Amino acid sequence: MKYTLNCNGRLLSLDKPQVMGIMNVTPDSFYADSRQQSAHAIAHRTEEILSQGGSIIDIGACSTRPGSEPVGEQDELQRLREALSIVRHEAPQAIVSVDTFRPAIARMAVEEYGADIINDVAGTTEMQRMVSRLGVPYIYMSNKATMREVLLDCAETVDRLRSWGQKDIVLDPGFGFGKTLTQNYEVLNELERMQMTGLPVLVGVSRKSMIYRLLDTSPQEALNGTTVLHALALMKGASILRVHDVREAVECVEIVAATESQHTVKRDDETRART
């Protein structure tokens, strides 16, 4: 998709799909290997995401997995301040997204640490008004169960955000949220329908239960399934992959891009042959 995000004056092109590396600074993320809490671990994860080809670091300090008990706002605030300080020191030019559903946290992250993107799984009007005032790109996640409902929900939300002056919007169909196992795959199967919104789509399926429940395994054993779903999502128009395993996702983007490039070349050759 031809789309550019304005990240505090720096333009991030989505002409080619981008990889967002997950950094969880919380002790209770569903995937244990993704938890970074010490200063050393946060610095290492920062370097890892960027060196492996990730273009966005997504920092979350409050688990939003279904069924989890959110930590208090002050705990989330403290964790994020510590993490953002380290990330900004280690990689001052990195594009940083903050995964939060609390407006005050979003404001702190943008105003104090220059966070570039807000990634929101709750979608309250309070958060949306706040992000519109802050003027940073906003990722809206829908927790609706079917693609029809997701599209209607996104259309209504985008209209509201536009009325408040929000410019850059990314849509997330919300895999794992408000959907049964079957519904997750039905939404993925129809993912190309989200292209009618004219907005970039973020896909977050990395090591989620829709993979390991289907295969009767665990998050630790879900990398192969994750890569399969990433390839399908890219072929259906995904612009951003939110992932735990950055190198593998970057390689997936490169391979899918190469196959699509060959398809374009073949189509152009056939067109010239007919003319």
Q: Which residues are identified as catalytic? A: 208, 242
Phi and psi, residue 216, nearest 5°:
55, 50
Number of Cβ within a 10 Å radius of residue 186: 14
CA distance 28 to 192: 33
Report yes or no: 95 and 117 within 8 Å, Cβ to Cβ.
yes
Return all residues near 224 (Cβ < 8 A) that are at least 6 apart.
Answer: none
CA distance 177 to 5: 25
Number of Cβ within a 10 Å radius of residue 71: 17
- Kindly state the greatest CA–CA separation across the chain: 67
